[in-house]
Amino acid sequence: AQSVSQHNHHVILSEAASLELGCNYSYGGTVNLFWYVQYPGQHLQLLLKYFSGDPLVKGIKGFEAEFIKSKFSFNLRKPSVQWSDTAEYFCAVNIPNSGYALNFGKGTSLLVTP
């Protein structure tokens, strides 16, 4: 079965620190990749997506992610986090043979301290 793994379940950073959240998926074919963010008490918002083309994608709020096909990875990065980035981050993959539903990782809870 296809799966999405997020390696860090809880991350605590100080403001201005750099962020990298790992995401790996297990599927050998073509995939679409996403990062979603869920701020406390809110719904999921799309941070960025990768369908094809340049493997380095830029999203909203200064986030970027790099798709490395050989590693089946799609890690999320931000050079300098802010307190307002405190949220739950979900990596997701949608795969043609799963009806294009999103398969989510278990999420990473990020706490940014002032």
Partner 1 sequence: DTAVSQTPKYLVTQMGNDKSIKCEQNLGHDTMYWYKQDSKKFLKIMFSYNNKELIINETVPNRFSPKSPDKAHLNLHINSLELGDSAVYFCASSQSYARGEQYFGPGTRLTVT
Contact set with partner 1 (CB under 8 A): 32, 34, 36, 38, 42-46, 49, 51, 88, 90, 94, 96, 98-104, 106-107, 109
The answer to whether residues 13 and 21 touch, using CB atoms and an 8 Å cutoff, is no
Compare residues 71 and 106 and give the one whose CB is closer to partner 1.
106
Whole-number Å distance between alpha carbons of 113 and 107: 19
Compare residues 62 and 94 and give the one whose CB is closer to partner 1.
94
Compare residues 77 and 94 and give the one whose CB is closer to partner 1.
94
Q: Which residues contact 56 (CB under 8 A, 6 or more apart)?
A: 64, 65, 66, 67
